[in-house]
Chains A and B, each alone.
Chain A
Amino acid sequence: MKILVVGEHHKGQLGEATARVVAAARQIAQTAADPSDVDIDVLVAGEGVAGIAEAAARLEGVSRVRLADQASLAHQLAEPMGDLVAALVGGYTHVLAAASTSGKNVLPRVAALADVAQLSEVIAVESADTFKRPIYAGNAIATVQSLDPVKVITVRVTAFEAVAEASSAAPIESVDIAIVNQRSHFVGETRAVSERPELGAARVVISGGRGMGSGDNFALLEGIADTLGGAIGASRAAVDAGFVANDLQVGQTGKVVAPELYIAVGISGAIQHLAGMKDSKVIVAINKDEEAPIFQVADYGLVADLFQALPELDQALAER
């Protein structure tokens, strides 16, 4: 068994995602007869990425870092990256990458060039060839076995704990395959879109209710929403009280949302509101009234004064 992890990096930093993908690789290695015999290589590809390779070499469980440093790999465009990884596939039993926009962009090309299927967004390792992955937006979990000689896999990084730093660094070896790319060109990028996602499509929603006290106090939610890349919502009570515009209303008569994380702040949990958010994956409620019905649907309830809890939460999230 031999596993290749495609490292993820941006602006000279190795992403935390890579440490989590290595963790998934280690779980696969654990299914081998002798896990210590399994090689886990990390590929660091790009232009001027030697420093990143060094960071990757210090991840626990990594046997070797393969460094491909050349101009054609700048910005890690899909075409040269796909060609490079496909050229390296021989000899590996597994090729893994994060199910990030970058991993999703590159890995299917690798699978196609290697003439194998790909498993996307894997959340659990069952055996060396069998994995669990969500389908239908997480409303079902499929257990899928790959019949191909090489398993090409993108990993949902939140499902795996990042590996720690190793005591000694793994060796770094250069990859000397010249990659040519003339079909695609990088023009530019904009980072950190400050614009919040649309309420109905956001991965995280933080909503305020009557307990917010005023429209101005919704500012307390903004920092948290921005840190989590979330949208701001409101209960009907908050809209009726004139705190915020009614296009923010979550509920039966407003928007129906089902984000991965829903944070209800100062919301009692009227049935009308619950109808609009109860399909959220994880629900957090912050309310000073211990008896508030919202706590009955919340996965995590915090009985607290929101004016103390929100600044604390904002800070804790920013520091994490």
Chain B
Amino acid sequence: MKILVAVKRVIDHNVKIRVKPDHSGVDLTNVKMALNPFCEIAVEQAVRLKEAGLASEVLVVSAGPKAVQEQLRTALALGADRALHIDTEVALESLAVAHLLKAVVEQEQPELVLLGKQAIDSDNNQTGQMLAALGGMPQGTFASALEVEQGQIKVTREIDGGLEILALALPAVITTDLRLNEPRYAKLPDIMKAKKKPLAVTTPDALGVDVSPRLRLKAVEPPPERQGGIKVASVAELVDKLKNVAKVIA
């Protein structure tokens, strides 16, 4: 079974982000970048399936500027076999990424596609589902457990208030949730070995995909400042505020 894993380069999750003063976006200059944590879980899962003898090859793909090769190399160091970089300077939206991945799926014919459930920058939670729809594949989103069986995959999904188990025909798309596994750290010798693993480069044009944006980002602002705290007189007032003003409980 060949597995395709799609990964994204994002701001390291430990970094406190700063909105640019002109509200045009988030300041990315000199900010530490990393593999999106959910993508890391996807890579880990693919490598585990390979180690368990259930997968024959793990191909990792990422789209973006040349810098994404850093994250591809991380994935190779973690155990992926080869990498594909889709080189573009365009700020990609989920739909464009899904189209790019669909083109890669057509070329590579993987039986399983693993993605993180969402990227921690855009928080879209769309690409896996979109890819599945475009490729006519079934999907198992927010996966917390996987079981590969003959011709199908059983996936346990984390849904609101519980778990759901589905059986999907292969090829299928799986998006990972936090509890699926705990990713390993890259070993130094493997980082060196990763340099010798193949990393191919292609472009949206070569894949025949139009990646022009469908959305216009008009402003990015910091969230509203914390209001000065207030004292409430009773538990009833507290619950009312949490529900109707702070809106943190439904």
Contacts and interface: CB of A to CB of B under 8 A. Distances in A.
B121 A282 contact: no
Contact of B139 (A79, A133, A139, A304): A79
Interface of B: 11, 16-17, 19, 26, 93-95, 98, 120-134, 136-139, 141-142, 154, 157-169, 172, 178, 213-223, 226-227, 229-232, 234-236, 238-239, 241-244, 246-250
The 7 closest A-B CB pairs, nearest first, are: A108-B129, A112-B130, A109-B133, A183-B138, A117-B214, A191-B162, A108-B126
Given A191-B161, A320-B249, A309 B235 contact: yes
A145 B215 contact: yes
A189 interface: yes
Interface string A133-157: 1111111111111111000000001
Nearest to A303: B231
A50 interface: no
A77 interface: yes
Given A183-B169, A299-B230, A116 B214 contact: yes
A320 B239 contact: yes
Interface stretch (A65-73, A171-179, A241-249, A311-319): A311-319
Contact of B217 (A142, A283, A295): A142
Interface string A64-88: 0000000000010111001000100
Contacts of A192: 161-162
A165 interface: no
Contacts of B129: 78, 82, 104-109, 112
Nearest to B157: A101
23 contacts: A75-B164, A78-B141, A105-B129, A106-B129, A109-B133, A111-B95, A118-B124, A135-B26, A136-B17, A136-B123, A139-B17, A140-B17, A141-B220, A143-B217, A143-B218, A143-B221, A144-B218, A191-B162, A193-B163, A261-B242, A300-B231, A302-B231, A317-B239
Given A120-B123, A192-B161, A78 B139 contact: yes
Interface string A242-277: 000000000000000000110000000000000000
B133 A260 contact: no
Interface residues of A, number: 85
A116 B158 CA distance: 27
Contact of B141 (A105, A133, A304, A309): A105
Given A111-B126, A299-B227, A117 B133 contact: no
B94 A118 contact: yes
Contact of B165 (A143, A158, A189, A191): A189
A226 interface: no
Nearest to A158: B247
Nearest to B221: A141
B220 A282 contact: no
A16 interface: yes
Interface string A274-305: 00000001111000000000011111111110
A139 B234 CA distance: 31
Nearest to B234: A302
Contacts of B141: 78, 101, 104-105
A138 B234 CA distance: 29
Nearest to A142: B220
Contacts of B16: 139
